[in-house]
Amino acid sequence: MKNVKYILTGLITGAANGLFGSGGGTIVVPALTIFLLMEEHKAHATAIAIILPLTIVSSFFYIKGNFVDLPLTIKAALGGMIGGYIGARMLKSIPERTLRITFGIFMILAAIRMVI
């Protein structure tokens, strides 16, 4: 049954990533922590590892369909790699409760931004 939950989480995450360009944090982290009872830090790190292959697949179709601004993508990706390194290094030093609250606030702000 657990494997079915894993695959279902992946399918929903992949579809959200393909449609909206997101899904890792907004779907995988809550799924891993709530439904699969994974520890918060491990869920965030696992979400990033899950995002990589599905983002590669989605990016292929976006680039092929000429939906991507490559110069902007390259510049933002460079900054994102530096930020990703910093965030990954910081993750282990942030208490679980602080991580959960910060992530929750970020998701609420993102939801408000999407509605407004």
Judged by DSSP in three states, 39 sits in: coil
Residue 1: pLDDT above 90?
Answer: no
> Minimal CA–CA distance to 40: which of 98, 87, 100?
100
Which domain, by its residues, includes 7? 2-115
Q: How many domains does the chain have?
A: 1
Q: What is the mean pLDDT of residues 67-92?
A: 94
Q: Which long-range contacts (CB under 8 A, 24 or more apart) does 89-94 make?
A: 91/41, 91/44, 91/45, 92/41, 94/41
More confident residue, 78 or 13: 78
| 12-14-15-20 Cα dihedral, nearest 10 degrees | 120
Q: What is the mean pLDDT of the chain?
A: 89
Q: What is the mean pLDDT of residues 82-105?
A: 93
| 85-88-90-92 Cα dihedral, nearest 10 degrees | -150
Residue 24: pLDDT above 70?
Answer: no
pLDDT value of residue 10: 86
Polymer length of the chain: 116
User: pTM of the entire structure?
Assistant: 0.77
Could you give the CA distance from residue 62 to residue 64 in angstroms, rounded to a whole number? 6
- Quick: pLDDT tens for 25-69: 788 899 899 988 999 999 999 998 888 888 888 889 889 999 999
Residue 22: pLDDT above 80?
Answer: no
- At 23, is the pLDDT very low, low, confident or very high (cuts 50, 70, 90)? low
